[in-house]
């Protein structure tokens, strides 16, 4: 379960996870719980959280939050990169943040807004009115050509 199914199910969840609805998370958890119930042959009356605890497994949504925090730290490391290509994930993040923060409260869309909603669903409150919540994007991102890119065009 831990070595085959979870990595496959959660692959890329840092990107697609924030867009899932509560019902989508519940469906994924039902499949996981069904598999675990079959392994230990327990009754349907045993609560899901007990089964997960028995295996030492975090719910998918919580695991995605852990992965997302790690992903945000990796993106932050790209902010200081001198190479233009290495900065793309950071610039994409900053663009998503700018879009979400410029939207009226409750109407924000995009990946950044989904991240904020996902964090709040597990009890981590984020004030969207404060700029640079996660990674320090203080202005709209801009790109600059590296010396190699300038030489290649010239």
Paired tokens of 46: 């045993």
Higher pLDDT, 103 or 22: 22
Length of the chain: 154
Spell out where 9-145 has E strands.
none
Q: What is the rounded CA–CA span in Å between residue 6 and residue 58?
A: 10
Q: What is the pLDDT of residue 65?
A: 92
103-126 tens-digit pLDDT: 776 666 778 888 888 888 888 876
Question: Which residues have CB under 8 Å from 120's CB, separation 6+?
Answer: 126
Short-list 82, 100, 65, 131, CA closest to 92: 100
pLDDT tens digits for 11-20? 999 999 998 8
Residue-level pLDDT at 154: 56
Domain ranges of the chain: 1-146
């Amino acid at each position: 379960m831990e070595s085959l199914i979870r990595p496959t199910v959660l692959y890329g969840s840092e990107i697609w996870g924030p867009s899932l609805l509560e019902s989508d998370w519940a469906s994924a958890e039902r499949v996981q719980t069904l598999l675990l119930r079959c392994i230990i042959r327990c009754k349907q009356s045993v609560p899901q959280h007990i089964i997960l605890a028995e295996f030492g497994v975090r719910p998918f949504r919580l695991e995605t939050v852990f992965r997302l925090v790690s992903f945000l730290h990796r993106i932050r490391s790209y902010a200081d990169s001198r190479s233009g290509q290495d900065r793309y994930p950071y610039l994409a993040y900053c663009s998503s943040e700018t879009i979400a923060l410029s939207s009226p409260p409750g109407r924000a869309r995009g990946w950044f807004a989904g991240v904020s909603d996902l964090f709040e669903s597990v009890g981590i409150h984020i004030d969207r009115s404060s700029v640079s919540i996660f990674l320090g994007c203080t202005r709209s991102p801009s790109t600059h050509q590296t010396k190699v890119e300038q030489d290649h065009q010239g």
